[in-house]
Amino acid sequence: MSMVIDLFRKYIHIPSASREDTHQKPSTPEQLDMARALEEDMLKMGLADVRSDGHGYVYGRVPANAEKQSAIGLIAHIDVVDNEPCAPMNEKIVSSYDGSELYIGNGVTLSCEKYPAMKDWIGKDLIVTDGRTILGADDKAGVAEIMALAYRLINDKSIKHGDVLLAFTPDEEIGAGAADLDIPAFGAEFAYTVDGGTLGEVEYENFNAASARISFTGTAIHPGAAKDHMKNAALMAAEFASMLPDAETPAHTEKREGFYHLVNIEGVTERASLTYILRDHDAQKLDQKKQMLNALADIINLRYGESVCSVQIREQYRNMREVMESRMDIVKRAADAFESCGVTPVFPPVRGGTDGAQLSFRGLPCPNLSTGSINHHGRSECACVQDMEKMVDVLIEIVRAR
């Protein structure tokens, strides 16, 4: 196997799930194991300025061998989601996928019918798990591709380039990865996150995002004496949820359509709560979703009494298109790199967020690139060997001297 695949298979065996219910940085100690492994590998490769900050951020530099070139950053995150197990890892290579339904184990099957992107992988080699865990391609694939790029640049002096700056971040999956990346010390003029899906994707727009917690206060009393006295907070929560548009959920939307996503519900008679995430590529439409929640709270309060329902909204991230529209030269550089490698670039809107969105608003323009993997965050996650290898070629063309 190639170096990028060897690195990928090494890194996915290091469990590094992040968790939202902690107040540490990084959120889990396992991410520090991944950070240490990267730091060791970078030092062995001979990168310059290798350093980690003890909080899961790791930096390094491939020194320039050409003058008057932009300092380009490449970024990937070291954490994986914790909604499914990430260990024990038992990955396997499926050689020359023939396009038929593929049973990988533990009741998990993959097929072109279920996942149309796999049609482009017929005849190629796939990396899958045994169906008991996620693969961790989000974003160990991006990590491995950046590291393989660094190895090639260090060992092939015929590739001319400016400073290539590497950064690996923790806690991206809980929305906290970009906040503490030291942009001035990083030193990039612009950057790319390598944290996408199918080969050829160049993403420069993403959801505007907010979260909302709706709280309900009821009145508990013995049900035998409840008439005209009981106010059931759990029923209020159910009523509130039922008033939101049925068609505006993740299961019914695609492309640039936004949604309300109920991620948690808790309740008893005396108190209850709903937690939503709100998403829309259009900032005005996201504002309308926030207004809808407040309007429904007003209805609940009119029906059941003043202040029985309250809404707390927290802003999460914004659509980086606002920044990238003035730096489309960076997007074009990536698109040209794909084309030079025989890959047609596509520009899908991200139905989620990336570290690049936060970094763009912090002053580091940072679109997102594909990794050659699909079905992230679930046990059907898989990656394509040849597409991951091609991504290393694409990264070479991105940083190549102009």
The stretches of 96-180 forming alpha helices (DSSP H) are 137-155
CA distance 69 to 160: 10
Residue in 125, 144, 128 with CA at minimum distance from that of residue 10? 144
Q: Does 298 qualify as catalytic in the annotation?
A: no
Q: Please identify which residue in the block is written with the tokens 């890892």.
A: 89
**Residue-by-residue DSSP string for 89-103:** ---EEE-S--SS-EE
CA distance 170 to 32: 9
CA 37 vs CA 43, 58, 104, 197, 200: distances in Å: 10, 10, 29, 24, 29
Determine which one of 125, 139, 145, 172 is catalytic: 172
CA distance 72 to 309: 49
Say which DSSP state 351 is in: S
Is 22 within 8 Å of 29 (Cβ atoms)?
no
CA distance 335 to 398: 9
The stretches of 80-208 forming alpha helices (DSSP H) are 137-155, 183-186
Residue 384: what residue type?
A: C
Q: Does 257 qualify as catalytic in the annotation?
A: no
Q: For the chain, what is the radius of gyration of the CA atoms?
A: 23
Determine which one of 39, 41, 79, 205 is catalytic: 79
154: its two tokens:
């260090």
Residue in 210, 193, 73 with CA at minimum distance from that of residue 142? 193
Residue 326 CB partners (closer than 8 Å, separation 6+): none
Q: Which helix (H) or strand (E) holds 300?
A: helix 283-304
**Residue 128 CB-density burial (10 A; 0-12 exposed, 13-18 middle, 19+ buried):** buried
Where residue 84 falls (left for φ over 0; alpha for ψ -120 to 50; beta otherwise) is: beta
CA 18 vs CA 212, 325, 356: distances in Å: 21, 32, 18
Q: Which residues are catalytic?
A: 79, 172
